[in-house]
Amino acid sequence: MNKYLAYVRGLFLPLGYEEFFACMEAENTQYQAEFSENQIILFESTENPSKAASRCAFLHSLLKIIAIGTVDETISITEDYSFDEIEKNKTFCVRAYRIGKKQTKISRMDIERDLGSYIYNRSANKDLNVNLSNPDYQFCVILQDKQFYLGLELWSVNRETYRKREPNQRPSFRPGSMKTDFARALVNLSRVREGDIFLDPFCGSGGFLIESSILGAYSLGSDVSAEAVLGAVKNLKKFSEGDFAIIRNDSRKTSIKKADAIATDPPYSIQSSTHGEQVKDLLYDFLLESKTILEPGRYLVFSSPKKIEPEKIVKKVGYEIVSMIDARIHKSLTRRIMVAK
Ligand SMILES: C[S@@+](CC[C@H](N)C(=O)[O-])C[C@H]1O[C@@H](n2cnc3c(N)ncnc32)[C@H](O)[C@@H]1O
């Protein structure tokens, strides 16, 4: 059993934790969580959790833990670490990150330098060299109050890949499109797996479908607006990494027969139109219809303004609520993300 640390982004924390656990379930990676708080998820697993972590939009990185202690003992921590997993003649560097306020005199730079030279000396038989810009191995120290976590980084996010797919970077842009990280997180909460049929029944310009296709799903989208459908097709042609189909369809009475996972962002009647329908009525009708197509035991995820209390509608329709996550977007919009089964 190895110990791992998932380092969660500070934004929308509960969403970051839920997304990670959903990805572990989707990838069928067994684990035992010790805690998830203050941007850290500490857990044990006999399997490699890198595939699950690398799907997550709200993680910074994943570390395989080498040592946990208090900052005063930083240098002694690698005493019983064997370097077995490090290959000869490779390069390494040490990076330190601090969560929250500085509680100790020691600086991040001091830790990086001292630990770097310690590792260099300790691993002399491995002929490692330091490379600060593109190392083969990155050792990371995460400082939180006086506590530190030292690990070998197994994966870290490349934000640039998300930025390239942001709504304003797509051939077709529609107001009301969710940012890419949010779209990815909602798709992840649906526990979609490679080869699944993923459905977004209010697909707009196709942001969720792009994410599900990158995750290896067959991406099926629909929207009542012909203009949205055409825009989504253009966007998917540019960004999708698999098969997709997008049809013009009213999600209250759909011609789609089956989906393994659903994630969607129905209109709030602010930037995107409900086409004359009350937001609550539209949600109710769509949820009822979705029950006829979602495979038993699988997940449906959607986002709504908190103030409409979507949980009441979910219960009324007869779905089981798995989780409910609030994310404050600005003064007048808090999104309530519902995960239902
Ligand atoms: C918030 S937007 C979706 C944005 C999308 N997630 C994106 O990233 O572009 C909601 C979409 O729902 C569509 N819509 C409204 N009523 C609908 C209905 N009854 N059936 C299907 N789509 C509908 C709108 O045309 C709009 O494109």
Q: Which of 34, 32, 25 is nearest to 149 (CA)?
A: 34
- Convert the pLDDT of each residue in 283-298 to its tens digit: 999 999 999 999 999 9
Do 108 and 47 have their domain in common? yes
The CA–CA distances, whole Å, from 189 to 26, 60, 159, 170, 335 equal 9, 18, 20, 24, 15
Q: Tell me the residue range of the domain where 33 lies.
A: 2-157
Residue 74 sits in the same domain as residue 211: no
Indicate whether 117 and 257 sit together in one domain: no
Residue located nearest, by CA, to atom 19 of ligand 1: 250
| 232 and 255 in a common domain | yes
Asked whether the predicted pLDDT for residue 147 surpasses 80, the reply is yes
Domain boundary, last residue among 128, 157, 186: 157
Give the domain-ending residue among 126, 157, 188: 157
Is 179 strand, coil or helix? coil
CB atoms within 10 A of CB 61: 20
- Ligand 1 contact, 284 CB (< 6 A): no
Cα–Cα nearest to 190, from 4, 339, 11, 18? 339
Residue with tokens 């309530």: 336
Q: What's the structural domain count of the chain? A: 2
Is 213 found in the same domain as 139? no
Do 26 and 80 lie in one domain? The reply is: yes
18: CATH: 3.30.2130.30
The model's pTM = 0.95
- Name which of 62, 123, 125, 59 is nearest 92 in CA terms: 123
Is the distance from the beta carbon of residue 178 to the nearest atom of ligand 1 less than 6 Å? yes
**d(C-alpha 222, C-alpha 240), whole Å:** 16
- What proportions of the chain, in percent to the nearest 5, are helix, strand and coil? 30, 30, 40
Yes or no: say if 53 and 6 are a contact pair by the CB < 8 Å rule: yes
Note the pLDDT tens digit of each residue in 249-258. Answer: 999 999 999 9
* Residue 176: per-residue pLDDT: 86
Spatial strand order of the sheet with 300-305 comes to 244-248, 218-223, 197-200, 261-264, 300-305, 333-340, 321-330
230 and 113 inside one domain: no
Q: At which of 104, 135, 157 does a domain end?
A: 157
pLDDT-derived band of residue 82, with 50, 70 and 90 as boundaries? confident
For residue 177, report the distance from its CA to the centre of ligand 1, in Å: 9
The reply to whether 261 and 132 lie within a common domain is: no
Asked if 220 contacts 245 with a C-beta cutoff of 8 angstroms, the reply is yes
Residue with the smallest CA separation from ligand 1 atom 26 is 204
Find the 207 Cα to ligand 1 centroid distance in Å.
Answer: 11
- Same domain, yes or no, for 191 and 335? yes
Q: How many CB atoms lie within 10 A of CB 258?
A: 11
pLDDT digits (tens, 9 = 90+) for 283-340: 999 999 999 999 999 999 999 999 999 999 999 999 999 999 999 999 989 999 999 9
Q: Are 145 and 171 part of one and the same domain? A: no
Q: Are residues 72 and 221 in the same domain?
A: no
